[in-house]
Structure 1
Amino acid sequence: MVRVSRKEWAKKIDDALCAFKTAFKISIGIPPYQLVYGKACYLLVELEHITYWTIKFLNFDTKTVGEKRLLQLNELDEFRVKAYKNAKLYKKKTKMWHDKRISTRTFDPRQMVLLFNSRLKLFLGKLKSRWSGPFTIIKVSPYCHIEVMEENSGRKFTVNGQRLKQYLRGDIDRQRTT
Structure 2
Amino acid sequence: MNLIVAKDKRMLQLNELDEFRMDAYENAKLYKERTKKLHDKYMQRHEFTPSQKVLLFNSRLKLFSGKLRSRWSGPFTIVQVFPHGAVEVAHETKGTFKLNGQRLKAYWGGDFEKEKDMTA
TM-score of the superposition, structure 2-length normalised?
0.80
Structure 1 segments unaligned to the other structure (5+ residues) = 1-59, 172-178
Tell me how far apart the structure 2 counterparts of residues 167 and 123 of structure 1 sit (CA, whole Å): 24
Structure 2 segments unaligned to the other structure (5+ residues) = 112-120
Aligned to 2:47: 106
**Percent of aligned positions that are identical:** 59
Higher RCO (CA < 8 A, seq sep 6+): 2
1:34-45 → structure 2 map (5 Å cutoff): none
Residues matched between the structures, number: 111
Aligned to 1:96: 37
Asked if residue 75 in structure 1 is aligned to residue 21 in structure 2, the reply is no
Aligned to 1:30: none
Tell me how far apart the structure 1 counterparts of residues 61 and 22 of structure 2 sit (CA, whole Å): 40
Aligned to 1:126: 67
Cα deviation code 1:41-62 (max 9, x no counterpart): xxxxxxxxxxxxxxxxxxx323
Aligned to 1:20: none
| Residue identity opposite 1:72 in structure 2 | Q
Asked if residue 144 in structure 1 is aligned to residue 85 in structure 2, the reply is yes
Tell me how far apart the structure 1 counterparts of residues 63 and 52 of structure 2 sit (CA, whole Å): 32
Larger CA deviation: 95-104 vs 75-84: 95-104
Cα deviation code 1:101-147 (max 9, x no counterpart): 22210111111111111337499421112222111111112322111
| Residue identity opposite 1:163 in structure 2 | R
Asked if residue 159 in structure 1 is aligned to residue 99 in structure 2, the reply is yes
Aligned to 2:118: none
Choose from 168, 171, 174 the match for 2:108: 168
| Residue identity opposite 1:144 in structure 2 | G
Cα pair distance change 1:123/1:88, threshold 3 Å: farther
**Could you say what the CA RMSD is over the residues aligned between the two structures, in angstroms?**
2.1
Tell me how far apart the structure 2 counterparts of residues 170 and 100 of structure 1 sit (CA, whole Å): 31
Q: Which has the higher strand share?
A: 2
Name the SS for the 1:143 alignment partner.
helix
Q: Which has the higher helix share?
A: 1
Aligned to 2:28: 87
Tell me how far apart the structure 2 counterparts of residues 169 and 120 of structure 1 sit (CA, whole Å): 23
